[in-house]
Amino acid sequence: MGFRKKLLGYCRILFCICNNFYAVPVYFSCFVLFQPLRLVSPRKFWLIEGWLFEKLVSMVGFWAQLSGHKIYMSGDDISSLVNDESIVISNHQSTGDVPLMMYTLRGIKHSLRDIMWIMDWILQFTSFGWIAKCHGDCFILQGSDIRKYSFLLSGTEEEIKARQGIEFKQHLCNVYKQLDRKWMVLFPEGGFLYKRREGSQRYCRKMNLPILEHVALPRVGAMKTILEEVGIANPKSCNHEDHTLFHGVESVNGLGSSGDKSIKWIIDVTIGYPNGEPATFLSWITGIGGPKSIYVHFKVHHASEILRSKAGGDGYEVSDQWLYDKFIDKEKLLKDFYSTGNFPTGKLGMKEMKCFTFQTLIGHLFCLIPYAVIAWMLF
C-alpha cells in the first residue's frame, strides 16, 4: 500500500473517531434534555429522536463513500414497501454487514426512524449500541453468548433463554407496535459465517439437509417469536403492484390478521462480496485493500408463505423448513455470484446505490453547532 493510501486511511480513521466524539454526545444530550417532552407528548419526542437517529445512521453510511466503496443492488424493487410492516432478513459474513445494511436502507427508505434492528447482545456495549438501545432496538443473547458471558448473567441457561423470550415479546409490543415501527432487520444465521459454518454443517449432516458453504443454516427462534407475537397479514390486505407475490393462504388463524401492525412482507437480502472476501468494519472506514464493489440482491415474499397447516388442519404455524429453504436458495445464488461476479438483475436491474450526502451534511452541522456555541461562549 502506497504512502498516499495509508495517509488517506489514517485520515478517515481520525475523521470517524472525531465523528463519534462530537455526534454521540449530542444525541445523548438531546435524548436526556427532551425527556420532559416525552412525558407530555411521546409522539413528538420520538419524532425528534428518530430524526437524530436517522442522521447518525446516515453518517455511518457516508463513511463508505469516503472510502470509495460502491454498492450495487438488484432483484425485486422494494421501494413500494417502505411503509409496509416487513421483516428484512440477510446473510451475515462480517462486521461490515451492519453499516452496509444501513447504507443500503438509507438509499431506499427516506426515513430510517421507523426501522427496528435486532442485533447480537454484545453490540449494546459499543457506542452505536448505546444509541440503538435508546432508539428501541433489540439485543438478543445467543446460546454461545450465554455460556461465554455466564459470569455477567444470573440463572441457568434455560432460565435465561426463557426470560429472554418473555422480554423479547414485551419489546415487540412496547416498541415495534406502540412506536409504530415498520421494518425489522434480522440476521437469522446468529453470527458471522466463518464462526457458524462448521456447526451449521454438522447440523445439516444430522438432519440430512444440503451442506452449505456460503451461508449458515438460519436459527428460527427469533423469526417465529416475531411472527407469532406481531401476526401475519392476510395477503388480500396488502397492496403491491406485483400481485404475483400473492400466493399465500387467505387466512392466518392463530397468527394475527389483517391488523395494522401485522407483518406483510419478508424481504430476503443476499449480500455478495467479490471473491468471497467480505468488507470488515475497518475496511468500511479506511478503504484498506482498495475500494470494493459490493452487491446486494433483494427477493420479496409475502409473509403468509412461511405458514404451514398444523397437524390435523387446525390452523397454521410458522414453518422452520421455509426459512431453511430460503437459505439453501441463498447458497445457490452466492455460488453463481462467485462464478459470474453478478446476481440476477431481476426487475430492478443492476442499480448503484447512493447515500444522501446532503442529509448527512445536515446531521454533521447540527451536531457541530453546540460545540461552536460553547467555543464562542468560552473564547
Average pLDDT of the residues in 176-197: 91
Predicted local distance difference test score (pLDDT) of residue 328? 96
Taking 80 as the threshold, does the pLDDT of residue 294 lie above it?
Answer: yes
Q: Is residue 65 part of a domain?
A: no
What is the per-residue pLDDT across 309-320, written as a single tens digit (0 to 9) for each? 777 666 778 889
Residue of 96, 141, 99, 100 lying closest to 122 (CA atoms): 141
| CA gap 342, 335 in Å, rounded | 10
Taking 80 as the threshold, does the pLDDT of residue 141 lie above it?
Answer: yes
* Other CB atoms within 10 Å distance of the CB of residue 342: 15
pLDDT above 70 as % of the chain? 90
| CA gap 154, 359 in Å, rounded | 44
Average pLDDT in the chain:
84
Taking 50 as the threshold, does the pLDDT of residue 112 lie above it?
Answer: yes
Cβ atoms of 87 and 223 closer than 8 Å: yes
Q: Is residue 56 part of a domain?
A: no
Reduced to 3 DSSP states, what percent helix, strand and coil does the chain have, rounded to the nearest 5? Answer: 55, 15, 30
Least trusted range by pLDDT, from 10-14, 197-201, 269-273, 338-342: 10-14
Q: Is residue 165 part of a domain?
A: yes
| CA gap 263, 26 in Å, rounded | 34
Q: Is residue 114 part of a domain?
A: yes
Q: Is residue 329 part of a domain?
A: yes
Which uninterrupted H or E stretch holds 328? helix 320-340
* Separate counts of helices (H) and strands (E) for the chain: 12, 10
Highest mean pLDDT among 157-166, 182-191, 231-240, 309-318: 182-191
Task: Provide the domain count of the chain.
Answer: 1
* Other CB atoms within 10 Å distance of the CB of residue 12: 18
Residue-range definition of the domain harbouring residue 124: 70-359
| CA gap 107, 356 in Å, rounded | 7
Taking 60 as the threshold, does the pLDDT of residue 120 lie above it?
Answer: yes
What CATH number is given to the structural domain containing 122? 3.40.1130
Enter the pTM of the model. 0.88
Q: Is residue 74 part of a domain?
A: yes
**Residue 353, phi then psi, degrees to nearest 5:** -85, 140
What is the per-residue pLDDT across 57-106, written as a single tens digit (0 to 9) for each? 888 888 877 788 889 999 998 888 888 999 999 999 988 898 888 888 87
Residue 369: HSE in the Cβ half-sphere, 13 Å Cα cutoff: 8
What is the per-residue pLDDT across 8-49, written as a single tens digit (0 to 9) for each? 878 888 988 899 999 999 999 999 999 999 999 999 999 999
In the three-class reduction of DSSP (H, G, I as helix; E, B as strand; rest coil), residue 298 is classed as strand
Taking 80 as the threshold, does the pLDDT of residue 279 lie above it?
Answer: yes
Q: Is residue 379 part of a domain?
A: no
Taking 90 as the threshold, does the pLDDT of residue 244 lie above it?
Answer: no
183-186 and 265-272: which strand pairing? unpaired
Taking 50 as the threshold, does the pLDDT of residue 152 lie above it?
Answer: yes
Predicted local distance difference test score (pLDDT) of residue 376? 84
Average pLDDT of the residues in 205-233: 92
Predicted local distance difference test score (pLDDT) of residue 312? 67
pLDDT band at 213 (very low <50, low <70, confident <90, very high): very high
Predicted local distance difference test score (pLDDT) of residue 2? 72
Taking 80 as the threshold, does the pLDDT of residue 357 lie above it?
Answer: no
Q: Is residue 62 part of a domain?
A: no
Predicted local distance difference test score (pLDDT) of residue 1? 55
